[in-house]
Amino acid sequence: MNNMQNILEEAWQIAANADVSTPENSVVLYSISYQPTDINKRKALQYMQKNTNMYMLDNTECGKRLIALGLETGNDVAAPEIMKIWALASRRFILSAGGNITAFVENADKRSTFVSVELPLLLQNERVKKINGIDKFEFAKRFGF
């Protein structure tokens, strides 16, 4: 097995098992997939600088370990397997969330992890009540849900 295969194998293990838990009302999401800029991520980071009790997936044990492996995604479309690894981690992150979710997802693309993975799971997660302070089902209507 070559080095990249080893890294991806380790990444799958991390995405499937590393801690993604957060306190209630502390999850911050952003969407940059298929976007021309990373403005949503920059807004999320600015928000988190002012609200130090908040967590993005990147700030959990799982996210930190994936980034340490070199799998941080940028605003360009990452390799499909890396996107799938992050989607698995996102899935677990969303399923463990609760309360109000803060989302920087302006113009999120229907193919993005937010719209295709995270939002459907937020709607299924009974512990999540609101997104950006409004009922999660009302919020989801803007994305065709």
What tens digit of pLDDT does each residue of 103-124 get? Answer: 999 999 998 889 998 999 999 9
For position 76, what pLDDT does the model report? Answer: 43
For position 75, what pLDDT does the model report? Answer: 38
Q: Which of 107, 106, 105 is nearest to 122 (CA)?
A: 105
Domain ranges in the chain?
A: 35-143
CA quadruple 134, 55, 99, 144: dihedral, nearest 10 = 40
pTM flag (> 0.85): yes
**Angle (nearest 5°) at CA 144 between 141 and 145:** 65
Sheet containing 28-30: order of strands: 28-30, 99-104, 128-131, 134-135
| Cα atoms in the Cβ-side hemisphere of radius 13 Å centred on 91 | 12
What tens digit of pLDDT does each residue of 31-75 get? Answer: 988 889 999 999 999 999 999 999 999 999 999 999 999 887 543
Mean pLDDT, the chain, whole residue set: 92
For position 78, what pLDDT does the model report? Answer: 53
